Structure 1
């Protein structure tokens, strides 16, 4: 019930911007991948040229980090999405082969900008880590369904339908974007090469996971492309039809298991869920090895199994874990770095399969080709279990039950508002308590020359502090919890926005804050609030 309530709150407050982000994400690697292969095949070009697109992603992310991140992110998103859609339409309608490389480059550059921004949207929206798996996989389910529809339109020989479908999704994304224009604000960011390289070095294991995840995305599809395109058991005239069948089966399978994967991510943990995905994908590859040359295994059974592994592994490695490990500040830069690494991995996956094909004859030695794919499955589990588990602890999941007292303090150290959130007698004078806390924070900042004090820990409880522009929020709780910290930040932000005029010229009248309880209910999810009678 709580999951549904929180999901409804998210849709009410940030739903339109989230919809725009989901649709933009649907125009990602998968629609992009099939369209690029489709056009290269129709013009008789070597399929390895799809690398132009993935190199474009890397360059786009670099440009985003050092230039576009400093601009208005709403405008960057709109321009990038429009450029992406224009390039897709251009690929469908072009008549000159050289234009393929222009449009593939533009799609890559656009995706290199879009991915960090929609990752930022996800960071802003998914503030409850105990629901992140379910929320992420609901959005993935939408993307999987849209990708399946797009490829089905190709199989129906309906190029016009593909164009209309893309334009329809673009129109909905634009409408959602404008309706939700003010729902989320991704702040401008900037960095330097020194900070950029330092960030990459500090998170080496995490970057290796992203590199291998990117490698696995492209390797999963391009290995299938090469087998379907070169193995004698397939008809050369039906290459795109067979590839379309493979992709549809894979994403139908992914769609069926998406919700279950999200539930598993929020129960057994991120690492074990990703590890399970690696094992399942390995089984899919093994079936192709043991049933070499079996068209039904290649086009139906193997992609169905690999689709299950895909939905467990890839969204977690490329979205859930990166969102949770990203810093609270400057995270668009972090996401830009993510997609530089991931795009590099995808390019390497394409080149690896292509170079391997030059020394192995698909068909006669397909078993060698397939076994060569196994090495990444041996590396992935090791890397996965080197990164920290990001599933919240039991204390995080029950954060509401640990909160005992909420106190809002003015800059002068006087209590503005207080609430007892659990049935417990507090004998302390809150006016004195407010002054003491305010004094401790000021002294700590003056002595250490560091940022404001965040937590005061005692044996049986701790006091979490969050300082704003006009006020400080203090929460007495049993544990110091990340989820609670996020709620405190959001609460204080809205509190100061709503009461800014009152706070600037406050005359000591606490009755001016009598309606704050609505914010308490909103951000701390409590229906039964007990008033502290001695607050003022």
Structure 2
């Protein structure tokens, strides 16, 4: 629940607060770039510093800092103070983002429901944006109490539920090595496009609205923009569940691409239709909201599902740092094209469609995170599990998932160990065997210092590899003091049965 509340708090700044501050102080719109510079710096700071802190200290501490900057922005009356407040708020969001993603891991353990689960998060966060749009920031004490109330709710829920959070232990990520790997380039590039699209289109929208109502007073302009935001986020919230279902049926990648295309077509509609209030404040935000929802939900699901659970925090610091670069790029291009966009919004459609083509190439390089039918039905694939002492090749535990297969486990264990050692010696490889493909049967291996676990199944599935890796690590840890002095008593290894039940019955 706390992650939904923080999501709403983060969207408040990006979609309503910073624009209302710009209107109130009559500041240059380019000042919004300080928000995104803050996100970039915050992401780097989190990787270098906050990743070493206790999770809840960093999470709650920087949400408190974020609320402070929101209140500061509500107090600002001088234009020169706006960049300071936007940088501070962006910095706080950049720090919290990876920590926030950690908490989503256990919520979205079953990827076949991932789209719907994250859609519920966006649905839960949308009212917070709508409420601030209704309140406005000119009623300072009301908006201040609103931010403080959200923070108290986050604080209370997090403290009460902290023992229930099954946050996987996080391991530090070597950022340099990660960025040098070619297979990671499309992933961080997706982070860039995520930031670019949700910012460039929205920035251009504000330019168009401000130009259309330039004769209005500050309060009236704020009211018009708030109407646009309310319709946009009502659409995001209401369309979210449908979008989640679609994502869980056809996958994340295709939904992201459809969302980007819909955003481009929304601006094409502005170019060729008369910009009446009905179109600008009601029809256009509905179309844009559908595109936003599909893009945002698809990308944010990918950011959680793609990395291994132990690296979710640091990879999301990286993704959101690149998203901040994309956001900054979206603002700068929007500013450079402002006169052209105001003359004819079709030019923005050309830019978005060109970027869409590039994004399509990038997204096609990324592996789909929605599991295949075989992955979802992994239980039907597994046949047998063996636990073998790595050095001696002795089988200390066996579990059969289907009908009893007539295999002598000790002969099997010794023979397989010999084959693996022979293969390593012949090809001069230091890496242990990972898989043997026997056509209708696949033998999956996971080896640690003292133990080798083997899983027999019909398919070499990612989910089975992950489960095999996890159970092997647990067995190594549980019996690490037993292996050096073990004298042949197999009863010692009976507890492995409960680990097999834990990992292969879920």
SS state at 2:345 partner = helix
Counting only pairs closer than 5 Å after superposition, residues 83-94 of structure 1 correspond to structure 2 as 83-94=65-76
After superposing the two structures, state which structure 1 stretch, 62-71 or 111-120, moved more.
Answer: 62-71
After superposing the two structures, state which structure 1 stretch, 306-315 or 58-67, moved more.
Answer: 58-67
CA drift of 1:255 comes to 1.4
Q: 1:320 aligns with which of 301, 308, 323?
A: 301
Residues 174 and 41 from structure 1, CA distance in 2 versus in 1: closer, same or farther, beyond 3 angstroms?
A: farther
CA drift of 1:221 comes to 2.0
Residues 228 and 456 from structure 1, CA distance in 2 versus in 1: closer, same or farther, beyond 3 angstroms?
A: same
Q: 1:336 aligns with which of 310, 317, 321?
A: 317
Counting only pairs closer than 5 Å after superposition, residues 215-234 of structure 1 correspond to structure 2 as 215-232=196-213
Aligned partners of 1:176 and 1:189: how far apart in 2? Answer: 30
Asked if residue 372 in structure 1 is aligned to residue 356 in structure 2, the reply is no
CA drift of 1:430 comes to 1.0
CA drift of 1:294 comes to 0.8
Asked if residue 164 in structure 1 is aligned to residue 148 in structure 2, the reply is yes
Q: 1:416 aligns with which of 377, 393, 396?
A: 396
* Corresponding position of 2:379: 400
Contact in 2 for aligned 1:278/1:380 (Cα 8 Å): yes
* Corresponding position of 2:22: 40
Aligned partners of 1:127 and 1:175: how far apart in 2? Answer: 22
* Corresponding position of 2:413: 434
Give a deviation string over 1:91-142, Cα, whole Å, max 9, x none: 2345665443333222222222222333344456644443332333232322
RMSD: 3.3
SS state at 1:408 partner = strand
* Corresponding position of 1:478: 458
Contact in 1 for aligned 2:103/2:167 (Cα 8 Å): no
Give a deviation string over 1:290-342, Cα, whole Å, max 9, x none: 3332111111111112211211122213x233444446775544333322221
TM-score, normalization by structure 2: 0.86
Residues 373 and 175 from structure 1, CA distance in 2 versus in 1: closer, same or farther, beyond 3 angstroms?
A: farther
Residues 98 and 439 from structure 1, CA distance in 2 versus in 1: closer, same or farther, beyond 3 angstroms?
A: farther
- Structure 1: give runs of 5+ residues left out of the alignment: 1-18, 527-536
Residues 382 and 513 from structure 1, CA distance in 2 versus in 1: closer, same or farther, beyond 3 angstroms?
A: same
* Corresponding position of 1:299: 281
Residues 44 and 267 from structure 1, CA distance in 2 versus in 1: closer, same or farther, beyond 3 angstroms?
A: same
Contact in 2 for aligned 1:70/1:189 (Cα 8 Å): no
Aligned partners of 1:487 and 1:145: how far apart in 2? Answer: 38
Q: 1:134 aligns with which of 96, 113, 116?
A: 116
CA drift of 1:263 comes to 1.9
Aligned partners of 2:96 and 2:13: how far apart in 1? Answer: 15
Counting only pairs closer than 5 Å after superposition, residues 142-291 of structure 1 correspond to structure 2 as 142-154=124-136, 157=139, 158-172=142-156, 174-175=158-159, 178-180=162-164, 183-192=167-176, 195=177, 198-199=180-181, 203-232=184-213, 235-236=216-217, 237-291=219-273
SS state at 1:463 partner = strand
Aligned partners of 1:113 and 1:448: how far apart in 2? Answer: 45
Asked if residue 387 in structure 1 is aligned to residue 326 in structure 2, the reply is no
Contact in 2 for aligned 1:73/1:188 (Cα 8 Å): no
Residues 433 and 85 from structure 1, CA distance in 2 versus in 1: closer, same or farther, beyond 3 angstroms?
A: farther
* Corresponding position of 1:450: 430
* Corresponding position of 1:8: none
Aligned partners of 2:4 and 2:475: how far apart in 1? Answer: 30
Aligned partners of 1:327 and 1:231: how far apart in 2? Answer: 47
* Corresponding position of 2:330: 349
Residues 410 and 259 from structure 1, CA distance in 2 versus in 1: closer, same or farther, beyond 3 angstroms?
A: farther
Aligned partners of 1:253 and 1:162: how far apart in 2? Answer: 23
Aligned partners of 1:150 and 1:169: how far apart in 2? Answer: 16
- Structure 2: give runs of 5+ residues left out of the alignment: none
CA drift of 1:505 comes to 6.4
CA drift of 1:274 comes to 1.9
Q: 2:442 aligns with which of 440, 444, 462?
A: 462
TM-score, normalization by structure 1: 0.81
Contact in 2 for aligned 1:56/1:108 (Cα 8 Å): yes
Aligned length: 498
CA drift of 1:53 comes to 0.8
SS state at 2:430 partner = coil
* Corresponding position of 1:80: 62
Contact in 2 for aligned 1:55/1:343 (Cα 8 Å): yes
SS state at 2:241 partner = helix
